[in-house]
Structure 1
Amino acid sequence: MGDPEPVRIVDIGANPIDDEPQYASLLATGLGRVVGFEPQREALARLQQLAGPHETYLPYAVGDGDTHELRICASDGFSSLLEPDPRQLDLLTDFPKLAQVVDREQVATVRLDDIEEIDGVDLLKMDVQGGELAVLEGGRERLRDCVAVQTEVGFHRLYEGAPTFGDVDRVLRELGLRPAAFVSVRTWPLAPTQWADSWEADARQLVEADLLYVRDLTTTADWTARQLNSLALIAHGVYRSVGITLRCLDQLTRAGDMPKDALAAYRALIGPSAG
């Protein structure tokens, strides 16, 4: 693929709950650089301590540009600018305890379109506990050329006024993006099921999922070479989506932006078992 420009990754809600982000291989090879945002001080400190040369982390809460109350919950992953909904949480084992608000603080949010430290977005990753629409609506200009979005979508409204899958899907489609894959699906036992119950696995409720959206693949003839290169790198290096990678390489060769043998070279790289 020659020497494409690094993928510009924006990670909103970069709290390092998992060991490393899915795009870590792009950072390690210099094929990607990330600007991450995390308003929780302890989580931000961990990110900055572990940051490599292609990582920048900032303390902003990304949203609609107004000041909001951040609810800090007993479990980091539940902290949100929205109030946890006790009636909904009561349906799920241990959720009332995990989402218990232990502190509150006022935070000023910034719109994605207004952040000067970002020079563009190729891949947007969001984990903002109900703040998805605020991020998307405040970033419509920056997201016009974005080729991929990974977002958490809720099927179970855990916060008062939070959007669910249909709400987020509608806005992403308005932005020219289409669902491509489930990255992960999370289920949880319905209360009063206990973790020790032998039937626990059969008592689970669909709660949320991480979904990958990509720019409408029927429009690739209108994309720039950078967009095609970026999505090819994202699809192969982050999500192992061979089909999307092949589509991008095919368009690059048709446009004369890549050697005609690029498809054959990629097929040889991934091996015959990849389909």
Structure 2
Amino acid sequence: MSNTKNTSDKFSSIKSELESSKVRLTQIKTELNKFKSKSDVENKNEFLYLRDAELASYVDETGGIKFAEIDKPRIDYDPNPATCDADGKHKCLGLLLECSSTNRLIYSTNLSNLSWVNFHQISTVAEENILSPELKTSGNQVISIIDLPEDDFHLIRQRIFNGSKVDRTVSIFVKRVENAGTKDFAIWGLNGLQIAVFSRKDWSFISGKATHTNVEFYPHGWVRLSATYNYSNDDIYFGTSARKKSRYLGENKKQFYLYGPQLEDLSQATSYIPTNEKPRGRGGDIVGINNLFYNGYSTKLIHGHIDLTEQQIIALKSNSNQEKLWLVKSLADLSKQINRLTNIVADKSTSKELTSEISNRQESLETNLHKLGYNVERIVVLDVGAMGGINPIWNRAIEVGINAEFYMVEPDRQSFEDLYRSYPTLKCIPHALGNSNSEATIYLTSSRACSSLRKPNFALLNYYLVKSRFKVIKEEKINCYRYDYLVKHQNAPVPEFVKIDVQGFEYEVLEGFGEILNQVLAVELESHFYPIYQGQKLAVEVIQYLAKYGLVLRKIEPHGPFNGELVEANLFFTKRKNMISATAARKIDLWEFLFNIPQG
């Protein structure tokens, strides 16, 4: 049954992609027909240049950081004053090409924001009169750090969830405070991960787990330090170090100025991406010049330049032929894609019955979703205990236009890494949730899906054939957090829809939401009518607790291989629609439709 469903979902996705491609092809042909001739489009002196990122940065002829508007070419210069010519002009590097990337650190433009925590013995000062690498003074973009006179670490920290072990590059602009402190500069991760220590004297790499480091020199004493590492440790720290030792007796002096921190899931640093309250992405460059074509969304080249003549730079900046070139390229790419998809759909191995079933199911779902007016505002979905990934119901809903943003919470390391590989665009939180911020023990069982923060209750489980799945094979210590703490201090979202599957620990997870439950519209959770885990709260207690926040029981969906007994079930709760806004009520309409809940 599951194989048939997977085939159905996959084929449905292919058909949807094919139809979307055909629509886009028609649009492109219409646009292309506006031009009189293709011959001038194919002229080798013409350029294609596109970028969908606002405020992508580059270095201009003064050596300072500047920001380009959407689709404006970035003619990049070497910021190092040592490479200037006799007239003091910076060397032109050419047209900057970069892949898409995201700065995952928030408030890179305001290092005095509360998201940057003075960790241990350090203090910071906003430096409004210090020229930044942008060659201007403004706000809290530049701070200085002072190591306080205690024998301790001296670091500022921002909380960040990293998840799986992949290449990451952290970078920051640093400037020595002259005639002040004497210490070196350090970058750390959580749990004692020393990523890199750079020498104050010459910025050389001293120690750390970084696989690669780099130094770029800028005017007025600034350098951009970057370090690539391959660890799953959370959080990023910047501060001071006494050579290899970051724990030392502080000098109580200003040590460094800081500007523009950045964390990217790439193997090298790219141009600076300024952020405020949220991480921010920069789209990839798409460039065609003569016979060269570069696509920053699919290339392995992370950062590079195309050497151009002065005349070519002038022609590129004029931007006169880009639209025609982009249409021609898109036309060719889409034609190939449509041929490939058409061949798949026409494959005789796909039965007519399956094709008909998928078509009918797709039409029914799309019709009903349109009736519900799904395209209102975005929906934030929090999946607590996300082993196994997104419910397939949501996959199809997203395909037809549901504007849903998913956050996946999963403390089991192997399951979390599986999630990250399967859903790289989702936001994953690798921590356990509970009713306190504390260390907890997770009991890993022979069936990973039965692992819990509570011990299995074999006094009851011994009655059932599935008892072997609950055998504890390992115990691990993990950090447990209240969800309202993550919202307040670590930028976790306030969700509208919540799904919880935490094997007997759901009551404690709900307690950790605190008053946030007042803003939740619907909850789906797995609960039990008999205690298969020691000390767990049962379904009736969960129902009573959610009722305090206006969430009422709407549906019980029994499941679980417990000899036919009603031991385990999924419970569905929503707010009463006559007690909430019309927009919120429409979102509950959608929830009811997706999960086949009788409409209230």
Q: Which TM-score band (shorter chain)? A: 0.7 to 0.9
Q: For 1:16-69, what per-residue CA distance to the aligned partner results, in whole angstroms no more than 9, with x for missing partners?
A: 0x784443334443421110100111111111111164x211101011222110
Q: How many residues are paired up? A: 223
Pairing 1:34-73 to 2, within 5 Å after superposition? 34-51=406-423, 53=425, 55-64=426-435, 65-73=437-445
Q: Which moved more, 1:24-33 or 1:135-144?
A: 24-33
Cα distance in structure 1, aligned partners of 2:495 and 2:390 = 24
Structure ID, larger Rg: 2
Tell me which protein shows more strand as a share of its residues. 2
Could you tell me which residue of structure 1 aligns to residue 376 of structure 2? 4
Q: Could you tell me whether the CA contact under 8 Å between 1:68 and 1:106 is conserved in 2? A: yes
Pairing 1:96-115 to 2, within 5 Å after superposition? 97-115=468-486
Could you tell me which residue of structure 1 aligns to residue 581 of structure 2? 224
Could you tell me which residue of structure 1 aligns to residue 493 of structure 2? 119
Pairing 1:48-197 to 2, within 5 Å after superposition? 48-51=420-423, 53=425, 55-64=426-435, 65-95=437-467, 97-115=468-486, 116-189=490-563
Q: For 1:109-160, what per-residue CA distance to the aligned partner results, in whole angstroms no more than 9, with x for missing partners?
A: 1111112343221111000011111111110221111111001110121111
Could you tell me which residue of structure 1 aligns to residue 595 of structure 2? 239
* TM-score, with length taken from structure 1: 0.75
Q: Which runs of 5+ in 1 are unaligned?
A: 190-203, 245-275
Could you tell me which residue of structure 2 aligns to residue 251 of structure 1? none
Q: Which moved more, 1:72-81 or 1:134-143?
A: 134-143
Does 1:15 pair with 2:387? yes
Cα distance in structure 2, aligned partners of 1:112 and 1:224 = 25
Cα distance in structure 2, aligned partners of 1:234 and 1:24 = 14
Cα distance in structure 1, aligned partners of 2:431 and 2:390 = 22
Query: Structure 1 vs Structure 2: percent identity of aligned residues?
Result: 23
Cα distance in structure 2, aligned partners of 1:215 and 1:105 = 37
Cα distance in structure 2, aligned partners of 1:148 and 1:104 = 33
Q: Could you tell me whether the CA contact under 8 Å between 2:559 and 2:569 is conserved in 1? A: yes
Q: Could you tell me whether the CA contact under 8 Å between 2:433 and 2:509 is conserved in 1? A: yes
Matched residue type, 1:57: C
Cα distance in structure 1, aligned partners of 2:398 and 2:537 = 31
Cα distance in structure 1, aligned partners of 2:519 and 2:567 = 31
Deviation, structure 1 residue 215:
0.8
Change (3 A) 1:76 1:212: same
Change (3 A) 1:153 1:180: same
Change (3 A) 1:242 1:207: closer
RCO comparison, higher one (Cα < 8 Å, 6+): 1
Change (3 A) 1:22 1:233: same
Deviation, structure 1 residue 242:
6.0
Cα distance in structure 1, aligned partners of 2:466 and 2:513 = 35
Tell me how large the CA RMSD over aligned residues is: 2.0
Q: For 1:196-223, what per-residue CA distance to the aligned partner results, in whole angstroms no more than 9, with x for missing partners?
A: xxxxxxxx22210001111124xx2x41
Q: Could you tell me whether the CA contact under 8 Å between 2:466 and 2:562 is conserved in 1? A: no
Cα distance in structure 1, aligned partners of 2:378 and 2:396 = 12
Deviation, structure 1 residue 240:
3.2
Secondary structure class of the residue paired with 2:566 = strand
Q: Could you tell me whether the CA contact under 8 Å between 2:554 and 2:597 is conserved in 1? A: no
Change (3 A) 1:2 1:177: closer
Cα distance in structure 2, aligned partners of 1:163 and 1:90 = 20
* TM-score, with length taken from structure 2: 0.36
Change (3 A) 1:22 1:183: farther
Matched residue type, 2:588: L
Cα distance in structure 1, aligned partners of 2:481 and 2:390 = 27
